[in-house]
Structure 1
Amino acid sequence: MSIDFNKTLLCSALVALFSVSSAQAATSADLAKLGNELTPFGAEKAANANGSIPAWDGGLTQAPSGWQPGHGDPYGADKPLYSIDAKNLAQYQAQLPAGQVALIKTYPGYRLDVYPTHRSCTFPTEVAQRTKEFAAQSKIGSDGWSLEQAAGASIPFPVPQNGIEVMWNYKLRYMGMGRRAQVSMLMREKGGALTELKQWAHEYYPYNDPAVKSPADTGDFEAKMLYDVLSPASRAGEMYLVHGYLDKPQDSWIYFPGQRRVRRAPSFAYDNPIAGTDSLYFVDQMNMFTGALDRYDFKLVGKKEMVMPYNSYKLIDKSNKFEDLIGQDYLNRDVQRYEQHRVWVVEATVKADKRHSFAKRVFYIDEDSWALLHVDMYDAKGNLWRAQEGSIWANPQTQSCTGFEYSMYDLVARRYLVDGFTQEGEVLDITAGIEGRVSDKMFNANELRRRGER
């Protein structure tokens, strides 16, 4: 029997599109739960059955005396409740992503220290109000993945009905208008030497502006990012400008100091490897996941109680030194904090008419902050290939939760790298967008050229 391949692809695409576009939207009764059974942002307000996850009480809205990002830990007096390692893995395996299970099995000494759970994450009162006011208007485009309608400074789908809505909640979660920091990407060479790429990172989030009523108000931008390389000396002065969109893959530009010119990058999206990482790191793994959602179908598996990285104040503390943090096989376990939290689980599989090196991804997204805390990535044969975990910590300065730091483990190459590490950087400025140190005018090719020539 012959098969018309083009018709098969078309039918597959139509089925996938229909399944998203025809999914039942959140009802008025669903949205009425916001601020009652649910937090104003869509999480379950109540504690879990055994009390290991407490009720949400508004989050960490006041910083302890003397605290600032990278200095101090509001929960520093806590002691681990238990640790998960190879000896007791069977007892806790159901509460762990596949990637964490694989890491425990692969590397002797790898463990997870589990602390008391603090539901520290919150958002500003205005975000709560706007979520309640505008959530009913939020809408996915007819292509099944792009954002057709959503208001800024809100959670677009606080009561999500499908996986694509959860992903947009992650992508548009409120983090302030912008931030800047000196960040490092680090990896161990096979001989043990530590390599570092240090950059100024400037990030701007136009959708966190309360003036935004629809995607058109941002020019269909999701985010704008500018990276200015500080070291190594061989790359100092390079700059990278990235524009992320709501309805298409990102654009990017590169400034090369030796040529004193700006070039449009031919392809800076999806699974294109990032320079200098030995192909261990793809573009769309930046910030845990970035870029267009068009190559996958996103299935909402549901919500689970799982052990996740959380309240990572010890990790980000500026008393840490990279040489002590970055072990040969894995990140120093003494600075990692894990807690039990509810997370949304979304399974992404590559569409029949698309391609990606990761045939499947599984995303674990925090219910309180909508932050992406862990990703498992599989190859075309269904084998677990990579595991990536993020960090999260409440920042009372912006009334939101922040995550710069993340680590990516390649389970096949037996290597890993970390990115967004701020511990040895001079600046960690989370309020830059609110206070005008990061603004929209910085993120264009002409500004890139001007910065390079000054």
Structure 2
Amino acid sequence: MTRNRIKQALAALALVGLAAPAAAQGLSPAEVARLGNDLTPLGAIRAGNEAGTIPEWTGGIRSAAEAGFPDFQSGGHHPDPFADDKPLFRITAANMDEYADILTEGHKAMFRAYPEYFMEVYPTRRSAAVPERIYDATKRIAPNMRLIEGGNGFSGGAEGIPFPVPQNGLEAIWNHIVRYRTDSARRTIGQAPVTRDGNYTMVMFTDEYLGAYGLEGAKEEELDNVIVYFKQTVTAPARLAGEVLLVHETLNQAKENRKAWLYNPGQRRVRRAPNVAHDNPRTASDGLATSDQLDIFNGSPERYNWELVGRKEMLIPYNSYKLHSNKLKYDDILKPLHINQAHARYELHRVWVVDATVKEGTRHVYKRRTFYIDEDSWQAMVVDCYDNRDQIWRVQEAHSINYYDVPSFWTTLELTMDLQSGRYLAIGLNNEEPVTYDFSPNYTPEDFAPAILRRSGVR
């Protein structure tokens, strides 16, 4: 990309969607008609940008065959369909000011804190896709969707994205919370709390997931108020092996908060775990991330005011197949202060910017959080997390890929980088594992019953 072209792209950047008053009801017929036309079926702007640096969305990658790998088997490391792409340019601490309009405040803080930090910027590939039925369901339910009083849930349907044309920040964050990942999945992943000098002890998990809200034909009245069933078993190191966390994530959280249980193999007992929420420390995270930072953000939004700032063009991690590759070892990725940026890929995409500030009378360790949510997938990609002094404390990144065997756009590596301690938490590592994301299980809610939790614990 030439210097003039870069300047043109920067000059073209502007907010293209401003916050509108909260809607009491769903989309109008005219707004619904836009889905699948000038808007994508999930509400993104279908067209590219004027500068030509963001292309038109043409459907994403809808199958392994479309990705160029017709023989790919679910559970393997997904080959990179963009392996031949070369970086357009590199951003460093020395030239970051030239790109200030397309860098998040968190990324600017990374450059200031770590002079050797860099970002390789690649051509934009709008690869995100989900099954056709999710598009159909989104259009079907859009006229009926509404937030419940207080915004701590919503009503009007299931299966699709509830608010493809969001009118406020709560609608946008709910889109992220209930976005389609897959029906069922089992994954083997590692979590590494990395010290300032680059040392870490890997914690290995087996995660099992059932996305009840997005199942084919899902109906709100039949969900039993549960949108996601999630079970996480610690398999290493030995001192933690056998611990199991079970979560039932609720849709109407004003009616019923999330339900969580923990199995402790030493005590051989199952107990309720109401503290697995909000700003309580996450499992085996060494205090580097809160419970609600798993999946970038999860759980109840009740502690924040959510402002929809607008839609903006920003550099975000995208199509991170290198970080998913079995050609890398964990030590190739995990380095002091931050991951090896040579394996990270950033692209220019339109994102919804949502600013969350703690409500008066409540508390959270993060006084403010700014979310950058991919318009094509509703995956939150970057989060700037501020402390009580209004200083950026931590930066989250969702290095994501299109799991084209589903298809689904989801994370392969989540990072929470602590700028005050020089430490970071990496979760999703599976480069050295024989099986990554297996989408073949056919789970049912009965597989996530608390009564069978003890049988899941092994030591």
Tell me the amino acid that sits aligned with residue 171 of structure 2: E
Give the Cα–Cα distance (whole angstroms) in 1 for the partners of residues 125 and 346 of structure 2. 11
CA RMSD of superposed structures (Å): 1.8
5 Å matches for 1:5-20? none
| SS, match of residue 171 in structure 1 | helix
For 1:349-384, what per-residue CA distance to the aligned partner results, in whole angstroms no more than 9, with x for missing partners? 111122111111101100111111001111122111
**Structure 1 residues 329, 237: CA separation in 2 closer, same or farther (over 3 Å shift)?**
same
Aligned partners of 1:169 and 1:370 also within 8 Å:
yes
* One of 108, 111, 131 as aligned partner of 1:104: 111
Determine the C-alpha separation between the residues in 1 that align with 2:190 and 2:129. Answer: 27
Amino acid at match of 1:225: F
Q: Which of residues 186, 193, 206 is equivalent to 1:200?
A: 206
- 1:102 match: secondary structure: helix
CA contact (8 A) 1:21 1:140 kept: no
Q: Which amino acid aligns with 1:125?
A: E
Counterparts of 1:346 and 1:23, CA distance in 2: 20
- The amino acid that maps onto 1:209 is L
2:145 corresponds in structure 1 to: 138
Partner residue of 2:155 out of 148, 152, 166: 148
Cα drift, residue 450 of structure 1: 2.4
1:72 matches 2:79: yes
Most deviating of 216-225 and 228-237: 216-225
1:27 CA displacement:
2.3
Q: For the Cα contact (< 8 Å) 1:230–1:236, is it kept in 2?
A: yes
Partner of 1:8: none
**1:270 shift after superposition:** 0.4
Q: Is contact 1:309–1:338 with CA below 8 Å preserved after alignment?
A: yes
Is residue 2:307 matched to residue 1:302? no
Deviation (angstroms), 1:414: 1.7
The 3 A distance-change label for structure 1 pair 247 and 306 is same
- Alpha carbons 1:25, 1:161 under 8 Å: kept: no
1:283 aligned partner: 291
Shift of 1:446: 1.2
For the structure 1 residues 229 and 427, does the alpha-carbon distance in structure 2 shift closer, same or farther, using more than 3 Å as the test?
same
Shift of 1:141: 0.1
- Looking at structure 1, the residues matched to 134 and 198 of structure 2 have their Cα atoms a distance apart, in angstroms, of 46
Distance in 2 (alpha carbons) for counterparts of 1:45 and 1:356: 37
Contact 1:123 1:400 in 2 (8 A): yes
Q: Does 1:167 pair with 2:173?
A: yes
Matches within 5 A, 1:12-411: 25-61=26-62, 62-65=66-69, 66-67=71-72, 69-152=76-159, 154-190=160-196, 192-214=198-220, 216-248=221-253, 249-411=257-419
Deviations 1:404-452 (A, max 9, x none): 42100111122111012222233223423xx51x332221211111233
CA contact (8 A) 2:197 2:336 kept: no
Aligned-partner Cα distance in 2 for 1:260–1:233: 16
CA contact (8 A) 1:188 1:326 kept: yes
TM-score by length of 2: 0.90
Residues 224-266 of structure 1: per-residue CA shift (max 9 Å, x gap): 1111111101111111112211233422211122222212224
CA-CA distance at 1:173 after TM superposition: 1.1
Relative to 1, partners in 2 of residues 1:266 and 1:385: Cα closer, same or farther, differing over 3 Å? same
CA–CA separation in structure 2 for the residues paired with 1:404 and 1:222: 22
Structure 1: where are the runs of 5+ without partners? Answer: 1-18
CA distance, structure 2, for counterparts of residue 451 and residue 430 of structure 1: 18
Residue among 440, 444, 449 paired with 2:449: 444
Distance in 2 of aligned mates of 1:175 and 1:417: 22
Size of the aligned set, in residue pairs, is: 431
State the 1:189 CA deviation: 2.9
- Distance in 2 (CA, whole Å) between partners of 1:139 and 1:251 is 24
CA contact (8 A) 1:287 1:404 kept: no
Shift of 1:36: 1.1
Alpha-carbon separation, structure 2, partners of 1:193 and 1:163: 38
With normalisation by structure 1, the TM-score equals 0.91
Residues 202 and 225 in structure 1, CA contact (< 8 A), matched pair in contact too: yes
Q: Which moved more, 1:62-71 or 1:126-135?
A: 62-71
Give the distance between the partners of 1:205 and 1:391, measured in 2 at CA.
Answer: 21
What one-letter code is carried by the residue in structure 1 that aligns with 2:68? P
Give the unaligned 5+ runs of structure 2: 1-19
Determine whether 1:426 maps to 2:431.
Answer: no
Q: Distance in 2 between matches of 1:193 and 1:174?
A: 35
Amino acid at match of 2:92: D
Task: Tell me if structure 1 keeps the 8 A contact 2:25–2:146.
Answer: no
Runs ≥4 residues deviating over 6 A: none
